[in-house]
Each structure stands twice: as structure tokens, then as C-alpha cells.
Amino acid sequence: MDKRSNEQDLSEASRTRLIGEIATMVRQAEVPPEAKQAGLTLIGWLARRLPQDGGIESRHH
């Protein structure tokens, strides 16, 4: 495996872990409905994201 494949595997593992952690949070009764909706929206975005998609690029002036 090359370095890029290792980075993609790590990124995919991190994305999957994050989806699981958010899903656990939104199932808790004390989480406000607005926070649950935001969490579900984020899960949807993460689930549709392709492993090769980059993050948000920062601009330096």
C-alpha cells in the first residue's frame, strides 16, 4: 500500500468513527431536537462524502 492509500484508510476509519459517535449522541434523550437535527444532517453529509474528497481548503493571504 502506498502512503496515499494509508491516508485514505485512516480518513475512512475516522469518518466512520465520527458517524458512530454522532449517532450515539443523537439517540440520547437530553439532546435538544435542534442538535439532533444538526447531527443527522452532518451524518448525511459524511455518509455521502467519497473517501477521495478533500476537506475544506484554507486560503492564506
| pLDDT reported for residue 56 | 52
SS3 helix, strand, coil % of the chain, rounded to 5? 65, 0, 35
pLDDT score of 33: 96
Contact (Cβ atoms closer than 8 angstroms) between residue 56 and residue 42? no
pLDDT digits (tens, 9 = 90+) for 11-31: 888 999 999 999 999 999 999
pTM check: above 0.75: no
| Domain spans of the chain, in order of start | 7-48
Give pLDDT, residue 57.
53
Task: Cell numbers for 26, please give them.
Answer: 443523537
